Every structure is written in C-alpha cells, then in structure tokens.
C-alpha cells in the first residue's frame, strides 16, 4: 500500500519569498566559466588581451548592473531572471509564490535579486576558471591598441583600481603597461616574465566589479523586500489576527425564582411606582405597602417584598438596603401600565444579583397568559 502525501500550494500559510532559483544561478555560472575560459585561454602563445578581460570582468558586469538598476527603477526592460521564470519550469508552489510576490509588489525586487545572483555566479564561474587557468597554464597578459598609448590607458586603469588602493601589488604600473604592450607583427618575447604580472590586477577587478558590487546591490533590495512584506496591509492583518487572544467567557450563578409568597410580608415600593401602576400588580394586593422612610425597627425584622423596576439594573444603594433586611425581590416590568413578563436579559440580571444576597429570593408570579410571559417562565424554569 502506498502512502501518499499530496503536494499542493498552501493558500493560507504565511508568506516567504521564493528562494534562489537555481537555473538562473547555474546559467550565470556556466556563462561565466565559458566566457572566462574563452578569453583567458588566449591564443597559441597563451597571450590574453587585457582589454578583452576588462570587457568581461568590468564592462559586462557594470553594464548589466546598470541595466538591472534601470529595470528596477523604471519598471521596464527585460532582465535575465524574468526571462528564465517565464519558462514553464516552475512548480505550482513556485508559481503561487510568484503571484503572491506580485500581490506584495516585490516581484521586481525579487527578479532584481535573482539577476544579482546570476551575476554573482557569473563572477564565480569567471573567477574559478581564471584561477584554474592561472594554476594550470601560462597566461601572458598583453594589450594592443592602434591609437592608444600607455600614457592614455594608465589613468583609466588607475581609476579602475581606486577601490583597492590598499593592495599595492594589484595596482596598474606604468612600466608594466609599457612592457606588456604587444604588436602582432613583432616577434613574441615569450621570455618576458612581466606578462604574467597583471593577474593580481585582473583578479582585483573581478572581485570588485563582478562580485563585491553585486553583493552590495543585493543588501538594500533585500531590506526593501523585508520592509515591503512587513508593511503590506495583509501581512499586518495576519499579524493582528495571530496576536489576538479571545477573552474567555465567564459564567455566573443564577438564583432560583419563587412563585409563592408567605402570608406575612411588607411591600416596599423601592422603584417608586405610581399608584396606578401598583394597582395593576395583583401579587401585592394582600400585603401592606410601606414607604422606606416609614420602616420601623420591628418591621425591619419582618420579611419584605421589595418592588423594583425590572429594566433598571440593581445598583449599590439597593444592595446596601437589602443587606439590612430579608425577603423577596420582585422585579416588575410594565407595558402600557400592565404588568408583563420579564425579558430574558432582565430576568437573568436580577437572578445573578439575588444569588449574591443570602437572605433574599427572587419572586415572580406564575404568568401563563401571554407569549412574553411564557418565554420568561421558560427562562426562569
């Protein structure tokens, strides 16, 4: 039995940009190797034109760096990386990530970085080939020109070598320049050891203009990508969702409701209901009604039936009063002066309140004639 794992693009996972696309890097490396080999291998006498080397190790890298910068800034132009990813070689997951990068508006930056990787691998290919040929072959660096003299070239080479002024051996030297000028009509002087002295200068140009420049170019763009992802509204929303913690719900104790009252009670009109309203409250008709101010010490020992407005939540003043007495709380709701059943939320509120008072019960008459009442009764039961 086969155990299968299904590979699919995750539509809901967090975003991380595509990593290095190896075909791009490999292509850069191969081109670097072959270009370097074709130039550095030189002619039958191992002579290599210094200008050709500057072409592939300085001119091409600088030109392509400039082009990729222009492409990035102007959002136009064709980059090597964009051509490669247009080939239908990417997997579903990679295509999905590419689409996400377009959504995040970092696709150009990513392509730019891929271009820099291609250039870095191009430089590595060139460097490896160059060093291998230096090791395994006699490379004679010469230069030829019909119209340029050593005096014309030297300032340009000095300017090129400015970034590695600390490395004196890799600096272009006027005497070396004069000594390595070549002319194909002249008999080659293969015994001249100075022909090989340019290698440090060439190596430094590769390191500086091919390798270091691209590494430096990658850093700010990587930072821009990171910032872009961080500032993207959807990423921020995702972070907000992930950070959010739901508050646990709390539960409360509800007092039971009694539907029967004892025979002896004093009614206290805490809610200050009007006489008209009170006349509609049938449950209190058999009991004497007293004002709070009229409560005498002996009455405080008797059980009270305290009338309250069902829709007004219990407040501290009522609680203070109830703590000094005992009896029944009777929340009443009216509609057009008629007593109606309590709303569920009001009923629960009074049940919670009564549950905190040890000497008190919540009273409600047994309603059964309206739908509101019956719903209240359901809740109560």
Interface contacts to other proteins, rule CB under 8 A: 2, 4, 6-12, 27, 30-31, 34-35, 37-38, 87-89, 92, 95-96, 99, 102-103, 233-234, 237-238, 240-241, 244, 246-247, 252, 272, 309, 311-317, 319-320, 345, 348-349, 352
Half-sphere exposure of 240 (CA within 13 A, CB side): 7
The contacts of residue 214 (CB under 8 Å, 6+ apart) are: 61, 65, 116, 119, 120, 123
Q: Which is nearer to other proteins, 2 or 19 (CB)?
A: 2
Q: In terms of Cα–Cα distance, which of 112, 113, 121 is closest to 34? A: 121
How far apart, in whole angstroms, are the C-alpha atoms of residue 275 and residue 337? Answer: 11
156 sits in the region (left: phi over 0; alpha: psi -120 to 50; else beta) called alpha
Q: How far apart are CB 14 and other proteins at their closest, in Å?
A: 11
Cβ at position 46, least distance to other proteins in Å = 16
In whole angstroms, how close is the CB of 273 to other proteins at the nearest point? 10
Looking at the Cβ atoms of 19 and 244, the one nearer to other proteins is: 244
Query: Using CA atoms, how far apart are residues 8 and 95, in angstroms rounded to an integer?
Result: 11
Give min distance, CB of 96 to other proteins, in A: 7
Q: How far is the CB of 45 from other proteins (least distance, A)?
A: 16
Nearer to other proteins, 91 or 227 (CB): 91
d(CA 114, CA 26): 11
Backbone angles phi, psi at 112, to 5 degrees: -60, -45
Name which of 6 and 187 has its Cβ closer to other proteins. Answer: 6
DSSP string, 235-253: HHHHHHHHH--PPPP----
């Amino acid at each position: 039995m086969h155990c299968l794992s299904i590979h699919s693009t995750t539509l809901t996972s967090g975003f991380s940009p595509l990593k290095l696309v190896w075909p791009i890097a490999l292509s850069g490396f191969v081109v670097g190797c072959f270009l370097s080999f074709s130039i550095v291998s030189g002619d039958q006498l191992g002579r290599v034109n210094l200008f050709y080397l500057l072409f592939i190790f300085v001119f091409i890298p600088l030109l392509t760096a400039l082009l990729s910068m222009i492409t990035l800034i102007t959002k136009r132009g064709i980059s090597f990386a964009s051509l490669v990813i247009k080939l239908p070689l990417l997997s579903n997951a990679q295509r999905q990530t590419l689409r996400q990068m377009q959504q995040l508006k970092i696709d150009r930056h990513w392509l730019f970085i891929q271009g820099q990787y291609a250039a870095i691998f191009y430089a590595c290919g060139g460097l490896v080939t160059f060093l291998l040929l230096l090791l395994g072959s006699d490379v004679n660096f010469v230069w030829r020109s019909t119209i340029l003299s050593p005096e014309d070239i030297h300032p340009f080479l000095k300017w090129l070598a400015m970034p590695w002024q600390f490395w004196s051996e890799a600096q272009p030297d006027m005497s070396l320049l004069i000594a390595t000028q070549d002319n194909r009509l002249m008999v080659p002087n293969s015994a001249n050891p100075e022909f090989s002295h340019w290698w440090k200068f060439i190596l430094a140009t590769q390191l500086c203009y091919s390798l270091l420049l691209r590494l430096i170019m990658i850093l700010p763009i990587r930072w821009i990508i990171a910032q872009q992802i961080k500032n993207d509204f959807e990423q921020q929303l995702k972070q907000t969702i992930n950070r959010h913690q739901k508050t646990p719900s709390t539960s409360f104790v509800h007092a039971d409701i009694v539907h029967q009252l004892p025979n002896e009670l004093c009614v206290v009109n805490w809610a200050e209901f009007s006489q008209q309203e009170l006349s509609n409250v049938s449950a209190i008709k058999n009991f004497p009604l007293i004002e709070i101010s009229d409560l005498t010490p002996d009455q405080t020992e008797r059980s009270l039936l305290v009338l309250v407005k069902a829709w007004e939540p219990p407040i501290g003043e009522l609680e203070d009063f109830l703590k000094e007495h005992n009896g029944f709380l009777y929340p009443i709701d009216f509609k057009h002066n008629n007593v109606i059943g309590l709303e569920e939320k009001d009923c629960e509120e009074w049940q919670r309140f009564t549950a905190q008072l040890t000497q008190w019960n919540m009273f409600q008459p047994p309603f059964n004639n309206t739908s509101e009442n019956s719903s209240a009764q359901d809740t109560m039961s």
